[in-house]
Amino acid sequence: MSAAPTTKRPTRSGSFASCQRLPNLPIGVAACAARRVGPGQGERGASTTGAGPSLCSVTVGLKIPRLPGYCVGVNTDFLRGHLEGLLLAVLVDEPGHGYALCQRLAARSGGELAVPEGSLYPALQRLERSGLVKSSWAHADGRRRRVYSLSAAGRRKAAAAAQDWKAFSAAIDAVLGGLA
Amino acid sequence: MTAADEYLVELAATLRVRGRAKRRLLAECRDHLADASAVHGVDEAVRRFGPVHELARSFDTEVAIGRARRATVASVAGAIAVAGSALVMLHAAQPAASSPLAWAVVFFACAQTSAVSTFLAVLRAAALHGCEATPGDVALLCRRNGMGLAFALATLFAAGAAVPGQAPAWKILLGPVVALLAAVCVVRTHSLARRIDTQLPLVIREPVTDAFAVARRWVGKSFPVWSVRSGVVLAVTVVVAAAAAFGWGLVDDQGTLPSSLAAAAIEAALTVVGFMVLGPVLGLRAARHTYDDSVTT
């Protein structure tokens, strides 16, 4: 994962771009809180939580689509920028195939993190392209499965992602904590 | 046919990639759905897996980015090979030959355009390392690679036209052959990007921002990332290019002050014209007729 620069983009009227020192943010992080929604609303598989309006999502180059009118809980939008870090974290213990990683993610999060399970595979492809993850065909559970494991660079990245998250969540807590 | 089988059939039909990558994804999805069906039931397993079109698009885009980065490596090899062939032609020129001014200008303009396009492609490919991107990013990378290769071949042609001579055929042809092979990779990747997204909106990616993002990855997260307006980048580039042309003219044995000033003026003018004409293609600026919602930054 690379950090997302939070620079201002020049508008068509030509406002001058500015330089900002970046916090240690993973890419595509959206500091979104869930919208307050009524009963029956919400994305499939999402947990609905009531909260204030969402905060700004500051990224560059990647337009994270805002789901209109939905509950944007601790799920799709919020997880989009963290999925690679989460996959690296669940691979730290031992290698695994896609379904096993999905189960570990659900188990370790107590069922709170619910992503479309298919979205793991493009994310794993991206991690493999970055050299953070290796994969090979192996026999697991009596079948031939594609098993993923962390590379040395992936282990370092997992540790760095954990540090980034601590700093990020501390910063968000400092802002949102007063609203709770 | 179960819901999982229908899902896999639809996924196979929706995926734009072909070959080993597609077979691998389908095998992994089949295994995943089989495991999930045993626990939650087939319908619930398919629901949890997510929409077909989202998975197909994400996976196709990831494969396309990998191919585009490999095509960039091929393009760099092609540009270097063509540069080698051009040097062979120049060294094989008749000793007393002098090139017409027009062909000399074309030679240097095409060579610099090729170098800049290839450099921008390498920068973008490096910035895309480990990043999520869009089919528009893939198309931009392909355009930069394509421009680099096309202008490299034009440079070779201008070299032959400027100072004719004789040289071993294999040395002259090696460059174009490598460049054409690289061009095939670029065209195939661009074709994949177009199949993924038929609209392929224009993408603008500032090279200064890419450079800082790449440097940040190496230096550390405390490294700042700047975004500089394209007009500022153009102004700096014009000054640097004109100064370099002026200095080169003075260093040359036959150079005089007026000729150096003329070279600097030509260099500055060509830089501005190149930016205005090729800027939209290379993703440096929006074309005048594009609207905000068709341009992604």
SS3 letters across A56-123: CCCCCCCCCCCCCCCCCCCCHHHHHCCHHHHHHHHHHHCCEEHHHHHHHHHHHCCCCCCCCHHHHHHH
Gap from B116 CA to chain A (nearest CA, Å) = 22
Contacts of B137 in chain A (CB under 8 A): 61
Measured between its terminal Cα atoms, the distance across chain B in Å is: 44
Report which DSSP code applies to A140: E
pLDDT value at position B126? 93
pLDDT value at position A93? 87
- What percent of chain B shows pLDDT beyond 90? 56
Query: Taking residues B225-238, what's their average pLDDT?
Result: 81
Choice among B4-18, B44-58, B150-164, B275-289 with the minimum mean pLDDT: B275-289
Gap from B224 CA to chain A (nearest CA, Å) = 5
Sort A40 into a burial class: Cβ within 10 Å, 0-12 / 13-18 / 19+.
exposed
- Residue B104 and residue B161: Cα distance in Å, rounded? 9
Choice among A50-54, A76-80, B21-25, B200-204 with the minimum mean pLDDT: A50-54
Residue contact A63–B222, C-beta within 8 A: no
Residue contact A117–B129, C-beta within 8 A: no
- Residue B259 and residue B37: Cα distance in Å, rounded? 78
If one compares B201 and A22, the residue with the highest pLDDT of the two is: B201
Contacts of A119 in chain B (CB under 8 A): 50, 54-55, 58
Note the ipTM here.
0.81
Of B50, B133, B221, the CB nearest to A3: B221
Residue pLDDT, tens place only, B4-59? 999 999 999 999 999 999 999 999 999 999 999 999 999 999 999 999 999 999 99
Mean pLDDT over all residues of chain A?
Answer: 66
**Nearest Cα residue in chain B from A28:** B132
- Residue B203 and residue A143: Cα distance in Å, rounded? 43
